[in-house]
Amino acid sequence: MAVKRCKLSLGVTMIEVMVAIVIVATVVLGTSGYRYYSALDVRKAAMQSTAARIALLLCENWRGRGLNDITTFDPVAGLGSELEIDYDNAGGSEGDFTRHGAYTIQVGGVTYYATMAWVELGEELRALNVAVSWAQRQSSEGGKEPAADKSYYLTTFVAAN
């Protein structure tokens, strides 16, 4: 009895190799892009969360002074031991709001700019507003600080006791 042998192709063609390379490259590039944008979004979220915490810290410390002492609140003296904060410029007025001052705050290598203002809403009620801005895109162009392009606003009220 004679055995018939089948011709099997055990090799891989060049087209199959190219298709496999394209598939693997697509998977690797897709995964790399996903990881990059995930890390970028985590960094953006951390910066926004820090800005919100700074605004809350300033607003609540300012509010804690009471209705009659909000004009004497100094965040540099009050929070300077816990926070890297510097006085930026003096107050003035912006519409109905009386500007209390502007400050620069360094946290985690990011510079935040806080502006504090208040408005009298009646004899026994004032609104306190804190605006915190930061540059979402950090730049290394010759050490030049990028312009702030994101902001977080927080307003609270203080009344007579």
Three-point CA angle 83, 58, 75, nearest 5°: 60
Domain-located, residue 1: no
Between CA 102 and CA 90 the distance in angstroms is 7
Residue-level pLDDT, tens digit, the chain, 161 residues: 666 666 656 667 888 889 999 999 999 999 998 999 999 999 999 999 999 999 999 999 888 887 778 888 888 887 877 778 888 876 666 678 888 888 999 888 888 999 999 898 888 888 999 999 998 876 655 556 667 788 999 999 988 76
Q: Is 7 a member of any domain?
A: no
Question: Is residue 4, in this structure, part of any structural domain at all?
Answer: no
Check: CB of residue 104 under 8 Å from CB of residue 116.
Answer: no
Q: Which domain holds residue 153?
A: 14-159
> Is 21 contained in some domain?
yes
Number of structural domains the chain divides into? 1
User: Does the reported pTM lie above 0.85?
Assistant: no
